[in-house]
Amino acid sequence: MGRKRLQEPADGRPTVHTVAARAGVSIASASRVLNGVGGSAETIRKVRAAAAEVGYVPNAIARSLQSQRTGLIALAVEDIGNPVYVEMMRAIEAVVASSGRQLLVHATGGRIDNETALLRRLANRYVDGMIVSPIRVTDDHLAALVDSPVPVVVVGQLGEDTPVDNVRTDSRNGVALAVDHLVANGRHRIGFVNGPLDTVPGAARDAGFRSALARHGIPLDEDLIEVGDFQYAAGRAATERLLARTDPDALVCANDLIAVGALHALLAAGRPVPQDVALVGMDDTELARMMFPQLSSVSLGSAERGRRAAELLLQRIADPTLPPRREQVPPSLAIRASSGTTPLVPRPAGPPTTQPSSEGVTA
């Protein structure tokens, strides 16, 4: 005997009442599941199955007016093309989608005015919550974060007394892992190619590099430090400047994009990796595994930071009274062919190697 046909509204569209009856749960329980608020695992399973069976499509406008929620979560990052943000975004989107919400992604270009304006504009009830990952943190940022009318989670370093949910890593210690590895493999003229020092990651990684050298008793040589930007072209140009004045046997790069630029600069200069110069990047993105040789890289847990940030945000939306939470994802080093255990090939004493033109080099 077939199921009794459920009564539909006049326009024929199934409603939450339809779903509740099909699932055999209360209307309140069905409503909580359909609005992403939650329920027991069995209730969620039954309601979602019933919704699919009857073809229920939520009325987003009505739901927003009733619940004062939009079903949208915003993510703001410096550059959506950067592999580290791509990994973070994928992890965030998976968590957000599981709650029945959608993710909006915004690229800020790292501009402080863009980020603070976005915080104020989107937080004006255009979204249910935001995840932001600023590379610079100013007083304007802090004011916009604290005053936001919707929940905000920051991925990155914040002051200990900032009353905002925060997921961070320890890139200073991440650089130390890279230096420790290179020293253990007999490298002592270790260079560092960094991003801007007025950024949070740039300052932390510079401090980590200097501290790691001091811990190993290696004198600091400023000629072995070069600053550019967190992009491929800037990383390559910075490495070319460094090679023009000194002769490293290893390089640590502040991210994988810089490291790829450094790899190409080294190969163009006739400096084989890792036989002549060992190379380590940071972020351990897919890019590191796509290079030849594959890049050793310090993982800062981009996907894990994204996942945790999304979970904290959903918890904050469900319960705004929670105290501020702070979570930290530890760094780890993935050792690959670009540093490995290949012994250092001695180079004859003399001035730095003269670099051939990089025009036409595709390595």
Task: Give residue 148's Cα distance to chain centre.
Answer: 22
Residues of the chain with confidence (pLDDT) below 50: 1-8, 60-67, 343-345, 347-363
pLDDT value for 81: 86
Which three-class secondary structure string do you get for 92-159? HHHHHHHCCCEEEEEECCCCHHHHHHHHHHHCCCCCCEEEECCCCCCHHHHHHHHHCCCCEEEECCCC
Q: Which two tokens stand for residue 209?
A: 């590099």
Reported as a single tens digit per residue, the pLDDT across 81-137 is: 899 999 999 999 999 999 999 999 988 887 777 777 777 776 566 889 999 998 888
Whether 74 and 101 have beta carbons less than 8 Å apart is answered as: no
3-state SS class at 347: coil
CA nearest neighbour of 7 among 22, 24, 28, 26:
22
Whether 41 and 48 have beta carbons less than 8 Å apart is answered as: no
Whether 224 and 189 have beta carbons less than 8 Å apart is answered as: yes
3-state SS class at 27: helix
pLDDT value for 67: 45
Evaluate the CA torsion angle 294, 300, 301, 303 in order and state its sign. negative
Q: What Cα–Cα distance (Å) separates residue 288 from each residue in 168, 218, 240, 312?
A: 22, 28, 20, 29
Q: Is the pTM of this model over 0.85?
A: no
Q: Which amino acid belongs to residue 150?
A: V
Question: For residue 336, what is the DSSP state?
Answer: -
Whether 313 and 165 have beta carbons less than 8 Å apart is answered as: yes
Evaluate the CA torsion angle 309, 311, 317, 322 in order and state its sign. negative
